[in-house]
Amino acid sequence: MIRKMKNKKTVLLRVFVLFGVALLLQSCFVAKTYERPEVLDEAHFRTDQIARDSIGLGDLSWRELFRDEQLANHIERALENNMDIRVALQQIAIADAYYKQGKVGYFPTLNARGQVTHQELSANSQFGSLFDGSITQYELTATMAWEADVWGKIRSTKRASGAAYLQTAAAHQVVKTQLIAQVATVYYQLMMLDAQLELVEETINNRTNSLETTIALKDAGLVTEVAVKQTEAQLLTAKLLKVDIERNIALAENMFSILLGEVPQAVNRGKLEEQSLPEELETGYPAMLLGNRPDVMAAEFRLMEAFELTNVARSQFYPSLAISATSGFQSLEADMLLNPNSIFATFVGSLTQPIFNGRRIRTEYEASKSRQEIALLQFRQALLTASREVSDALYSYNAAVEKIDIKNREFEAYSLAVEYSEELLNHGMANYLEVLTAKESTLNAGVQLTVMKYEKLQAVVELYRALGGGRE
């Protein structure tokens, strides 16, 4: 009995020593620490505009930027119902589950098991005659296992799962930002088409009146039948343009409804002339792209994940230290299973060093290094893309503002040309072809003016997206 007690004390002492060695070895952490790469210096956008402060357009809430109440309501519905948004939320839930799993990697595992084993033994076997040809054994056991994080494998796995979770959260913000931009863009497109339709309908009314006037002038002998037919042709051209615009409105409304996660239907909207957006566009400093652009953040989180998984792959070259303990009850009689004499315990400490494994560990390490390099290149590409998109949006906005001013003056000039030429024609001092040309040019200039106003609004939306806007 005394000898048994000594043996148990020796076993327990060895277990504690093994635990102590494991804790000491944990200080031998070989995994590298992630450092942000220097490619961030490339986050610059080309512009003639100097940021006067660090508060840029991307820091605005979309509610502050889009002041049209109907547009704000549409964006809210889209954020609630859009299918891409809902898919992104489920991806976040998946990543969150893996992140929670990664956080408990330091803790031991514990399993309980109940088992009944029945064996029919040969009469000529070693135990056949002793147990009357059969053995039935009852077991109730619990097993605990723990692996020491000697080389930082568990810590790196935890960090990798955390980076993966943050990556999906950033990806959700990417979808959200793009959705807000798409809803606003199609909304402004619809208002542009409305303005064009209004202009064409006014043109149809004017040309209908012009046709009646031309017929009267022909009856008075001031113009020929050619002028009548040309006026009629212009009226038909305007009616044809109206059909195209109405079709484009229907298609845009269908697209808009899908963005909102709804069946195609008519869309409530304001007027193009009533839209107000910030006149001065502050971009903030280029470094702010990192703080706002969700795709840039997602790319860096992807790089962090790849970096930590490379640490995990590197740790596989080193020995792993594991400790397990199994204890419970064993008995050949069911009614004696919970008897103190049925208690047993097993303690196992193992140190495993891989030697030959078909090159699997080295292959995984080399592959993880390549995946890390790919993630770095993708991060760099995300920065360059962000820089280009901001520059494109800024120049597009400035160009649209300048073009609107010029096109306004052109439209006014053509409108006056129509007025003057009609007066001259009524007094027999102008050719009717001059009137037709002036009218056609006025319509074209009016349609182009609505397009340029839309382009200005679209440039603001694109700049907002490029700067990482989309906050509540």
Same domain, 233 and 95: yes
Q: Supply the CATH number for residue 282's domain.
A: 1.20.1600.10
Same domain, 60 and 204: yes
Confidence of residue 51 (pLDDT cuts 50, 70, 90): very low
Residue 443 lies in a domain: yes
Residue 20 lies in a domain: yes
Min mean pLDDT across 52-61, 192-201, 239-248, 444-453 is at 52-61
Instruction: Round to whole Å and give the CA distance between 4 and 8.
Output: 6
- Domain count across the chain: 2
Domain end residue (candidates: 301, 334, 352): 352
Q: Dihedral angle at the C-alpha atoms of 271, 276, 279, 280, nearest 10 degrees?
A: -130
Same domain, 138 and 251: no
Instruction: List, for residues 254-270, the tens digit of each pLDDT value.
Output: 999 999 998 999 999 99
Domain end residue (candidates: 352, 370, 405): 352
Token pair, residue 443, equals: 């319509």
Min mean pLDDT across 93-97, 287-291, 322-326 is at 287-291
The single residue listed with the structure tokens 């792959």 is: 313
Residues spanned by the domain of 16: 1-27+109-148+322-352
Same domain, 336 and 404: no
Residue 472 lies in a domain: no
Same domain, 331 and 444: no
More confident residue, 305 or 278: 305
- Average pLDDT for 441-469: 88
Instruction: Round to whole Å and give the CA distance between 216 and 218.
Output: 5
Instruction: Round to whole Å and give the CA distance between 139 and 119.
Output: 14
Q: What is the pLDDT of residue 432?
A: 66
- Average pLDDT for 290-294: 73
Same domain, 140 and 192: no
Residue 471 lies in a domain: no
Instruction: Round to whole Å and give the CA distance between 23 and 29.
Output: 11
pTM assigned to the model: 0.79
Same domain, 336 and 451: no
Same domain, 341 and 259: no
Same domain, 53 and 172: yes
Residue 212 lies in a domain: yes
Contact 305, 163 (CB under 8 A): yes
**Who contacts 467 (Cβ-Cβ below 8 Å, separation ≥6)?**
56, 57, 58, 283, 284, 288, 289, 292, 293, 390
Token pair, residue 35, equals: 């450092």
Q: Is pLDDT above 50 for 55?
A: no
The mean pLDDT value of the chain amounts to 81
Same domain, 289 and 174: yes
Q: Dihedral angle at the C-alpha atoms of 316, 319, 325, 330, nearest 10 degrees?
A: 90
Token pair, residue 228, equals: 């009548």
Domain end residue (candidates: 300, 331, 352): 352
Q: Supply the CATH number for residue 122's domain.
A: 2.20.200.10
Instruction: Round to whole Å and give the CA distance between 215 and 222.
Output: 10
Nearest of 364, 372, 379 to residue 306 by alpha carbon: 372
**Who contacts 172 (Cβ-Cβ below 8 Å, separation ≥6)?**
85, 88, 89, 91, 92
Instruction: List, for residues 111-170, the tens digit of each pLDDT value.
Output: 999 889 888 877 776 666 666 667 888 899 999 888 877 777 888 888 888 888 888 888
Q: Using alpha carbons only, give the angle 89, 94, 97 rounded to the nearest 5 degrees.
A: 125
Nearest of 374, 381, 375, 382 to residue 293 by alpha carbon: 382
